């Protein structure tokens, strides 16, 4: 009996420790919900952005600046669609039609954003004045500037992660 109590206490402690670890690694933001207050940007607590460690200023010539490279790292739609459903719920969007959102990378693959990180992917509305299509234009201009040496990779990443709607002007590219 004493061994059973010790086992139960140990299991309970382990469960609480795991829960604390999960909460401490950022999953708490998803559990408690993400705010729409930042639109057209994601909630920075839920999606602060994340980088692909294989992409650095030194490797851009063999990664992001190679035509077609993003297709080699882009996650499958089965992965992004499942994540989109979870994140639409986390954001509390009234419109839950997945067709009305693009599961978009805050730091784009074109700038070496982490392909599968939930911290870098979010359900960006396709409706409104500033949409996913607008962001695509910004991403392409930033990639071109990085690849031609006008802007450093870290500066472009920081600008787009901070506020993609002002990234070009903050870097003197608009």
pLDDT for 35 equals 96
DSSP-assigned letters across all residues of 84-117: HHHHHHHHT-S---GGGEEEEESS-GGGTB-SS-
Q: Are residues 120 and 47 in contact, defined by beta-carbon separation less than 8 angstroms?
A: yes
pLDDT tens series, the chain, 174 aa: 444 434 333 343 333 333 333 333 343 344 459 999 999 999 999 999 999 999 999 999 999 999 999 999 999 999 999 999 999 999 999 999 999 999 999 999 999 999 999 999 999 998 888 777 889 999 999 999 999 999 999 999 999 999 999 999 999 998
**What does pTM read for this prediction?**
0.79
Per-residue pLDDT tens for 93-108?
999 999 999 999 999 9
| Token representation of residue 75 | 């996650």
- With a CB cutoff of 8 Å and minimum separation 6, the contacts of 47 are 34, 106, 118, 119, 120, 121, 122
Residue 136 is classified by DSSP as: H
């Amino acid at each position: 009996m004493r061994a059973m109590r010790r086992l139960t206490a140990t299991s309970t402690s382990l469960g609480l420790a795991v829960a604390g670890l999960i909460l401490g690694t950022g999953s708490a933001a998803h559990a408690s919900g993400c705010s729409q207050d930042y639109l057209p940007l994601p909630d920075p607590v839920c999606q602060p952005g994340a980088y692909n460690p294989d992409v650095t200023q030194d490797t851009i010539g063999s990664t992001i600046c190679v035509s077609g490279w993003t297709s080699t790292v882009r996650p499958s739609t089965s992965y992004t669609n499942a994540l989109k459903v979870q994140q639409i719920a986390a954001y509390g969007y009234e419109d839950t039609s997945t067709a009305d959102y693009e599961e978009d990378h805050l730091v784009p693959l074109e700038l070496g954003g982490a392909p599968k990180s939930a911290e870098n992917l979010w359900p960006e509305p396709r409706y409104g004045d500033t949409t996913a299509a607008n962001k695509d234009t910004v991403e392409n201009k930033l990639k071109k500037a990085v690849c031609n040496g006008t802007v450093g990779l870290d500066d472009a990443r920081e600008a787009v992660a901070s506020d993609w709607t002002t990234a070009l002007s903050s870097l003197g590219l608009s």
